[in-house]
Amino acid sequence: MSALFEPFTLRDVTIPNRVWMAPMCQYSAAPEGPESGAPTDWHFAHYAARAAGGTGLIVVEATAVSPQGRISPYDLGLWNDTQTEALRRITRFLTAQGTVPAIQLAHAGRKASTERPWKGGAPVGPEGHGWLPVAPSPLPFDERHPVPDELTVDQIKEIVGEFAAAARRALAAGFEIVEIHGAHGYLINEFLSPHSNHRTDTYGGSHENRTRFALEVVDAVREVWPDDKPLFFRISATEWLENAGWTPDDTVRFAGELHAHGVDLLDVSTGGNAAGVRIPTQPGYQVPFAARVRKETPMPVAAVGLITEAEQAEKILANGEADAVLLGRELLRNPSWARHAARELGGEVHVPDQYHRSV
């Protein structure tokens, strides 16, 4: 059997194959009003198409734990009942197609309050439904971004509670897996990295202090998330800074700590916390970081980053470099990628009755 189409079980959840959809923001929710942060028909059609295409696991895009935690005013959120109810429509459909529904919980930190990418992605103020971002330290992401407010210890504790509350709502909305977003320069990543965390209290300085907030979030979410359901964590394994910032060695060390705190899989990405760095992108360029974590720790991993071909994905798994692959842009281009890959590799995926004539 193709390794790409073998089931994968974590705790009591079995994912039917190793073709997973990476979280990708759609920036398509209402920016304000009673429907703010709730998924729309666009979100339903977007995720439903990939489930009908045979994707084994779909990680719903970065979903903010508070209004202040959104990347843009148009992000999804999970801080009220309206959002919870609207997400149930998506999880019901995904589950009916045999796809495991997951959701990424996030806080954007100093990279919050920006315009949609196709509108330029620049920071927005109150005139654009925006707000002043918060961060571990009063350091802007780049020259375009405002200086964020430095979080107090009480505010940090409040955000930890917001992650836990969002996890409870994710369970009520029908999700089987929660992923904590600790990558790409958003709030948790900002705390992890000495590049963005210049605090001198118990949340800054040493590795132990810089990882404290992330582990508090993990513990708070794990406490309310059922023992039979998996918890993922997404990390930027490197910031692509020469001998600076958060490093691959830090990632390996932290992966073991996350595993000890109840994280079941590390979603390994890179970059996003340092502006203007050169990233040597090429097919599978982030896979070696996932492979190292898998080799040196007990943590299962998913690899991501310019994985586009069925044989390429199969080789990553067959070589033991990852336990699953997360596809991003390729699934935007081809919602039925999993079905096409199964045909190429001799695997099997769920095909809706209505699509059987296409097999």
Tens-place pLDDT, residues 188-203: 999 999 999 999 999 9
Provide the pLDDT confidence category of residue 244 given band limits of 50, 70 and 90. Answer: confident
Architecture of the CATH domain 3-358: Alpha-Beta Barrel (3.20)
Q: Which of 31-45, 140-154, 342-356 is the least confident region?
A: 342-356
Q: What is the DSSP string of 127-187?
A: GGT----EESSS--SSTTSPPPEEPPHHHHHHHHHHHHHHHHHHHHTT-SEEEEEE-TTSH
Asked if the model's pLDDT at residue 356 lies above 90, the reply is no
Q: Which residues are catalytically annotated?
A: 186
Q: What is the pLDDT of residue 266?
A: 98
pTM of the model: 0.97
Can you tell me the distance from the alpha carbon of 67 to that of 62, in angstroms, rounded to the nearest whole number?
Answer: 13
Asked if the model's pLDDT at residue 327 lies above 80, the reply is yes
Given a contact cutoff of 8 angstroms between Cβ atoms, the answer to whether 98 and 342 are in contact is no
Nearest to 166 by CA among 95, 234, 228, 80: 80
Q: Where are the domains of the chain?
A: 3-358
Asked if the model's pLDDT at residue 359 lies above 80, the reply is no
Q: Which of 96-110, 157-171, 311-325, 342-356 is the least confident region?
A: 342-356
Provide the pLDDT confidence category of residue 357 given band limits of 50, 70 and 90. Answer: confident
Mean pLDDT, rounded, of the chain: 97
Q: What is the pLDDT of residue 242?
A: 82
Q: What dihedral angle (degrees, nearest 10) is formed by the CA atoms of 256, 65, 190, 182?
A: 30
